[in-house]
């Protein structure tokens, strides 16, 4: 069974843990008889259950399976594509949009983990790859390079010359990638700037117009409403500073979006409202 609802799995996950960080409502079956792909086109909370067919109908690998889709609302709409694996994947990307072609360096090995507490630690890890003759294309800096875990900041004490570090690594063929969390610490300068965006501010609100708050790494946070074009333009502009600091890419994390709730789903409440490019909705 697969739940189609994005939540944080609270620190760890393995085989059988559900739901995970993402919703991928796509089912692809590759068999001797042919390949088919089913895209469950519905953004409501729901569940897809895959199980074996009835006893006495076929045997072993020849027995037809059963796929059950149960959604809390919205349309029961599925796109079914048949053909070769390449054909059905091409058809699916035609419906949903194809992925952008990545830069060549992004196809190389990348080192990402929490715990790069300083520029010195980054240099130590990169030197370790070089001394062992191991290829390294990029190093990802997690929230520990932020000042107080606040997005789009840098801890100047532990990373005093981030552009210099980036240039040094680029000379060795290694790129720097910055984590970006879609949660803004309530009350800080970025939050104040977001309140001036558009007609009602940049952040998700509830049905009463109150700003939705949650707990993320910096503490109490507000959440940008990326379904508002004014917010997308504002937030996109914040990346310019990261690029000027020498970063070559971005690691988007916590974008379920996550709130460290004590109970229930670790994500935004159902009461949250979104701009939906002018249409409005939950």
Residues with active-site annotation: 253, 256
Report d(CA 42, CA 78) in Å as an integer. 8
| Cα 173 to Cα 134: distance, rounded to the nearest angstrom | 12
Structure-token pair, residue 221: 């946070």
CA distance 87 to 105: 28
* 260 touches 266 (CB < 8 A): yes
Phi, psi of 44 (to 5 degrees): -80, 165
Distance CA 149, CA 158 (A): 13
Q: Which strand (E) or helix (H) includes residue 31?
A: strand 26-31
- Give CA–CA dist 275/282, Å, rounded: 9
């Amino acid at each position: 069974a697969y739940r189609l609802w994005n939540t944080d799995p609270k620190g760890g996950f393995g085989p059988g843990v559900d739901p995970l960080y993402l919703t991928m409502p796509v089912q692809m079956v590759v068999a001797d008889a042919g390949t088919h792909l089913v895209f469950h086109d519905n953004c409501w909370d729901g569940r897809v259950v895959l199980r074996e067919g009835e006893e006495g109908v076929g045997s072993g690998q020849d027995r037809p399976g059963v796929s059950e889709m149960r959604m809390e609302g919205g349309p029961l709409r599925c796109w079914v594509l048949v053909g070769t694996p390449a054909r059905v994947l091409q058809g699916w990307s035609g419906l949903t949009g194809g992925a952008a072609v990545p830069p060549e360096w992004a196809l190389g090995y990348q080192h990402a983990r929490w715990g790069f507490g300083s520029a010195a630690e980054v240099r130590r890890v990169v030197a370790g790859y070089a001394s062992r003759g191991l290829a390294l294309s990029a190093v990802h800096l997690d929230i520990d390079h932020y000042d107080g875990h606040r997005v789009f900041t840098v801890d100047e004490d532990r990373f005093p010359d981030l552009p210099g570090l980036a240039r040094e690594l680029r000379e060795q063929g290694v790129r720097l990638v910055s984590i970006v969390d879609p949660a803004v610490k309530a009350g800080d300068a970025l939050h104040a700037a977001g309140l001036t965006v558009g007609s009602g501010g940049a952040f998700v609100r509830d049905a009463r117009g109150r700003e939705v708050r949650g707990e993320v790494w910096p503490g109490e946070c507000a959440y940008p409403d990326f379904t508002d074009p004014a917010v997308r333009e504002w937030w996109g502009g914040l990346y310019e500073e990261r690029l000027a600091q020498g970063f070559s890419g971005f690691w988007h994390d916590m974008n379920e979006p996550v709130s460290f709730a004590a109970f229930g789903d670790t994500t935004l409440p159902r009461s949250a409202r979104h701009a939906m490019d002018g249409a409005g909705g939950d």
